[in-house]
Amino acid sequence: MTNKAKSIRVLFEQHEDTGLHYVHSPDVPGLSIYHYDPDAIIAGLPETIRNLFRLNEGVEVSVYPLESEESPDLLGSWVAIPPEVAAAAPVL
């Protein structure tokens, strides 16, 4: 990862036969979460994404959700920001 923020697409599916919710991302290798409670998945996403960036790329990042008007199968868009980029961002 460079010194830039990275946009992360998080895809959401629900298995009809079990009711189990599944979240994964084409942008974060290894992101695969199953749970019956979608709120629990959302609550755990930032920590999971941070840990995967640490393991996969050796970098620390802060993770934030972005508002999205994407297709209904998209749980949302998130952003991973290296600390040096976050520190340099202007305060709004």
Token representation of residue 22? 């599944």
Determine the pLDDT at residue 85.
80
Does residue 92 lie in a domain region? Answer: no
Q: What share of the chain is helix, strand, coil (3-state, %, to 5)?
A: 30, 35, 40
Does residue 60 lie in a domain region? Answer: yes
pLDDT of 22 > 80? The answer is: yes
Number of domains in the chain: 1
Determine the pLDDT at residue 37.
92
* Domain span including residue 73: 6-87
Determine the pLDDT at residue 73.
47
Give the model confidence (pLDDT) of 31-82 as tens digits. Answer: 999 999 988 998 899 999 999 999 999 999 999 888 756 544 446 788 899 8
pLDDT of 11 > 60? The answer is: yes
Does residue 1 lie in a domain region? Answer: no
List the CATH number of the domain containing 65: 3.30.2390
Nearest to 8 by CA among 85, 55, 68, 90: 68
